[in-house]
Chain A
Amino acid sequence: MPIPNHVLRFLFFLLVRVLVIFMLGLNIKRRNLLPKDGPAIVIANHNSHLDTLVLISLFPLKLLPRIRPIAAADYFLRNPVFAWFSTRVIGIIPIQRGSAQKGFDPLAPCYEALDQDMILVLFPEGSRGEPERLSRFKKGVAWLVERYPTVPVTPVLLYGLGKALPKNDFVLVPFFCDVLVGENMYFNADKHQFMALLTDRFAQLTDEGHFPDWE
């Protein structure tokens, strides 16, 4: 698990915070439900590179050293400069996407982080996908939660960032970002049931949002 440069990370997220408030703007519902300490798992939908930045900026800066987003190694470590920025400044924990080989657990770095009382930020859709559309959650998250049944899982629905900066685009257009935090969840005896519960929770949050069309 790579160790980020805490000073650079602090300065970077201070800047992100100012830009997020001014250029985007946040409408946050139930911020008080976000974890106040680790170990904890935050699960969000994924539409934009801004997702990680906005999610991290929701937490107080003093928690910053504890917050680690989980991200795909093949994408974020694709060249040395990007890898340096992702691991040292953003502070990602890279994991291998796709098939798990025998005797190799792609989630091992997550276990290590949770054992160190970190707050993990996960995007179970696996990819940013189509803007403002929820794709199916990958089951890896259930494996993780099964192993840590006492760690709270906080669902967070983000809306608007896929409009502000969608996949394959580089022009940022200001849009408010809605952040809907859901009630904490815990592993409930079965991986399929947990995934069903998670999907259901995100559907509820989406309904609550009354979001305008984006077609």
Chain B
Amino acid sequence: MNDNPVLLAAVGGLWGLLFVASLLVFALVRLKPDRDYAELIARTQSWWVMIGAFSVMLLASRNVALIFLAIVSFLALKEYFSRIPTRRADRRVLFWAYLAIPLQYYWISGNWYGMFIIFIPVYMFLFIALRMIIAQKTDGFLQAAATIHWGMMTCIFSISHAAYLLMLPDTGTWGATGGAGLLFYLVFLTQFNDVGQYVWGKMFGRHKVLPIVSPNKTWEGLVGGVATTVLFAALLAPYLTPFNFTHAIMTGALIGLFGFIGDVSISAIKRDLGIKDFSSLIPGHGGVLDRVDSLTFTVPLFFHFMHYFYY
């Protein structure tokens, strides 16, 4: 159990924010009952469950957090493999791809940075090709190898960087919230950025950014969202991170911008596949991969930004 007062305050603040947001939704439903709020209500209810799980993960032990993130990787990869076209010949190949999840998180739990950082992009990359060759089916080989690797990179490699944040040693240059504080900072800002861009877009959105990939995304939403994220990044940084003011601003912009790019990348894939959501596991949000879409980009970028400047 992590009882760091700053972290507890951060998690408490998040619950406060959720409570206020739920009250707003409740008030909206009461004041304008003529519209259909089913989706908004489902979304809000799902946030309670997700923030509940996130709080448990942050405040329980580090191993609980690693298992939690490994499950997120597994569920996201399962959604991905279930929705992309795969070849019958590659069934056992996918089995090996799944096995990479426990291995990757095992390296992390042992604080083995060298293995964590090359296992998927080097060893699994090569092993998957090797295993595919055994099946001796050349039709669609390149597409299959590429799509399988893309799934492993986003769902396992990217997400697992969040787990490695928890392993970073406490350098003592900032409050003692350590990796859990960094993880809170990163995940909160990424998800808040999603919500911020959505709200800004709903209120002021006029000019589309990427009309073909994602028609609901507007310049107004993007700029407003990034600005809000930068503001919160600067406000929270002194408590949860070792960042100076400049680095906090840079991190906010990084999360805001690349959260957007992660989001629209997954949108592009969904459009390519002709689907709206990867699954219906989280009511109002879609699947796990639909929820962590922005994180697949922000997690590794934030991690390496941290790693470059502070470790």
Contact = CB atoms under 8 A, between A and B. Distances in A.
Task: Tell me whether A and B are bound partners.
Answer: yes
B94 A173 contact: yes
B95 A173 contact: yes
Contacts of A104: none
A175 B79 CA distance: 8
B98 A173 contact: yes
A4 interface: no
Contacts of B168: none
Nearest to B77: A174
B274 interface: yes
A25 B75 contact: yes
B273 interface: yes
Contact of B98 (A131, A166, A174, A215): A174
Given A25-B78, A174-B98, A176-B78, A210 B274 contact: yes
Contact of A160 (B82, B87, B91, B95): B82
A45 to B, nearest CB: 17
Interface stretch (B237-245, B255-263, B275-283): B275-283
Interface string B67-108: 000000011001101111111100110110010000000000
B78 A212 contact: no
Interface size class of A (residues with CB under 8 A): 10 to 19
B78 A131 contact: no
Interface string A162-193: 01001001010111100000000000000000
Contacts of B94: 173
A128 to B, nearest CB: 15
Nearest to A177: B82
A66 B266 CA distance: 43
Nearest to B288: A25
A210 B88 CA distance: 18
A208 interface: no
21 contacts: A25-B75, A25-B79, A25-B279, A25-B281, A27-B280, A163-B91, A166-B91, A169-B91, A171-B95, A173-B91, A173-B95, A173-B98, A174-B74, A174-B81, A174-B98, A175-B81, A176-B82, A176-B279, A210-B275, A212-B84, A214-B86
Contacts of A213: 85
Interface of A: 25, 27, 131, 160, 163, 166, 169, 171, 173-176, 210, 212-215
B78 A171 contact: no
B292 to A, nearest CB: 16
Nearest to A171: B95
A25 B88 CA distance: 20
Contacts of A25: 75, 78-79, 82, 279, 281
Interface in B187-221: none
A214 B88 contact: yes
Nearest to A166: B91
Interface size class of B (residues with CB under 8 A): 20 to 34
Contacts of A163: 86, 91
A112 to B, nearest CB: 38
Contacts of B82: 25, 160, 175-176
Given A171-B95, A174-B98, A27 B78 contact: no
Contacts of B79: 25, 176
A6 B88 CA distance: 38
B279 A27 contact: yes
Given A163-B86, A210-B275, 16 more contacts: A25-B79, A27-B280, A160-B82, A163-B91, A171-B91, A171-B95, A173-B91, A173-B94, A173-B95, A174-B81, A175-B81, A175-B82, A176-B79, A210-B274, A213-B85, A214-B85
A131 to B, nearest CB: 7
Given A173-B92, A173-B94, A210-B274, A215 B78 contact: no
Nearest to A178: B82
B288 to A, nearest CB: 10
Interface string B261-297: 0000000000001110001110000000000000000
Nearest to A214: B88
B114 to A, nearest CB: 29
Contacts of A214: 85-88
A212 B280 contact: no
A163 B93 CA distance: 12
Contacts of A176: 78-79, 82-83, 279
Nearest to B83: A212
A210 B82 CA distance: 12
| Residue from A166, A173, A174, A212 whose CB has the most chain B CB atoms within 10 Å | A173
A173 B148 CA distance: 14
